[in-house]
Structure 1
Amino acid sequence: MASQRSPMPANDSPPPSPRVKAVVFDRYGAAEVLRAIDLPMPQAGPGEIRVRVRAAGVRPSDIALRSGLSARAHGGARARFPHRLGNEFAGVVDQIGAGVADFAVGDEVMGWAAAMSYAEALTVPATQAVHKPHTMTWAVAGALPSTGQTAHAALRQLGVGAGQTVLIHGAAGALGCVAVQLAVAWGARVIGTAAAADHDYLRSLGAQPVNDDNAGVEQVRALAPHGVDALFDACGQDDFAPWLALAAPQRALSLSPRYGLAELRSARSRERLAELVAMHERHGLLVPVREMFPLTRAAEAHRAVERGPARGKVVLMVYEAMPLALLRLSA
């Protein structure tokens, strides 16, 4: 007589919830404190979109937050650990919250989010994103939103416009080169400081290059004997004091607070980011990308930024969306 098998017990357990990787740190320190963890898939709330991230820019402010420099500068206020990083992103919308009418699932977008973008997915208010132009690569789209808005805000705060002469210190860096492109497009005469190796690059952007050392101060005096109309220190690391005599104090801004200048009011808005996208479409505005790393190699990306000012941005790319050729570039 054939044996009878007992029926298999029904599996009533729910399917596992989807997870996404995100980069966090549990204490202040060197780049090695960064690690990737699994988090629950975020859900878009009312007025929000969920974005599958394709690229996220790495900024000096991320390094300042991870190292504890930002906390010390703000009176020792500590982050809640584990803490996330990243303020600019590009990706594909895959969920729409209630009340969102400007985006649809599948739209390619770029935007900003406070300490969230080093992740495979994130949710943000729809007002913090715009559509990504098809002519812009993922890496550039992930590198432009915060950097571009900072450059735009600085020049607007300085009142830079047609017929004026503006000096941009650190003009070959990511922030500086965006500021150069914007000022040139607005009809200003731009003098930019950079290492000699970057002078031809600045010329290609429409700027007059000078050295970024004390000799450069005299070169600026020769180019603008009566001084410059506006002065923007886009690197905030070198000794900026010798350059301050070239412009009126109220027409000078620096990323560093040590010089007692007016604070940079980098107010981000969807309108400002949309203007940058329009500048890309009309004038080819770009932020150069110098290195790309997979998301899980965020520590290496931070070390690349910490090596000091250099031309272009460092960008994190999500593995799943990164073409093989880009993976080879970042290896």
Structure 2
Amino acid sequence: MTNYPIQVRLSETKKQKPLSDQLEFGRVFTDHMFVADYFEGEGWVDHRIVPYEPLQIDPAATIFHYGQTVFEGLKAYIGKDGKVLLFRPEENMLRMNKSSERLCMPQIDEENALEALKQLITVDKEWIPTTEGTSLYIRPFMVATEPYLGVSPAKKYKFIIILSPVGSYYKEGIHPVKILVENEYVRAVAGGTGTAKTAGNYAAGLRAQEIADRKGYSQVLWLDGVERKYIEEVGSMNVFFKINGEVVTPMLNGSILEGITRKSILELIRYWDIPVSERRISIEEVYEAHRSGTLEEAFGTGTAAVVSPIGELNWRDEKIIVNNGETGELSKKLYDVLTGIQTGELEDPFGWVTEVTETAVVKSV
């Protein structure tokens, strides 16, 4: 690993911090951000922590016209004794490089990126909320900045990390949501960019989500783009079903994002010796399990919500009620244990949690 010096320019004025009970998701941002620039033939240069501010990017930049961008999402927590904790951050940096490879974007040095993240958190540590259920959301992202209206990989990029204090995903605790099964629109297909965390995947889902909102549903359940029968994701989350004692989740097939929470959930379930499989599962199978009384639970998993129980699925105007619309025992246990590990309240037998130590403190230059 090559250690890149990080220059620091602290903000001369500090923003007013919102009250913990007024936090929304992704609306407020901290005083500083990390930025590095990439030039083909030179690599990543000018690593810096600077005041949070608008970017100056040429209107012809590739990001605006051909969508070359990738991003990640993770959280920092204040744990016991005031320790700052990260949950599996190395997995986020690894996945960002996988996404970048798919989008023909440059690789980051994962260890250096994680160190930059720790230093940024150290600078803005006072922004981490301490109320139960709150956290500091972390958004690393990369955009192509070369001004060129040609369909080819850019030669200039920016890697940026911004921070946002966020409240609990659930206003009144973990509770089941209603999901609309999408039969017309497609989020991604095998061979496309579904396995990458890139903006276009999310833009492709906005229309279906808008329709779901109008019909009173929280999220969309995505089916495969070829046969329109096999379940893939729910909203922007991975999805799980508990059928007749076995937990089933769609296998990674080239169009499903490899979620870090998904990976952690699978490892927890296997640690508890609960039967689990990664395979193709059709909406018809879920419907038949509902009819036969063997559909016990369903839930989505992701960074924002951790575990989101599903209380109802609407498939072709047929309502599939899951566990009487109540949070299932496994869903609740997974949520409690995973959030307990993330915040340091529970033992971490897997070595998932990383502490941001005082050695990451940087001096202003």
Give the TM-score of the pair, scaled to structure 1: 0.28
Radius of gyration: which is bigger? 1
More strand by share: 2
More helix by share: 1
Give the TM-score of the pair, scaled to structure 2: 0.26
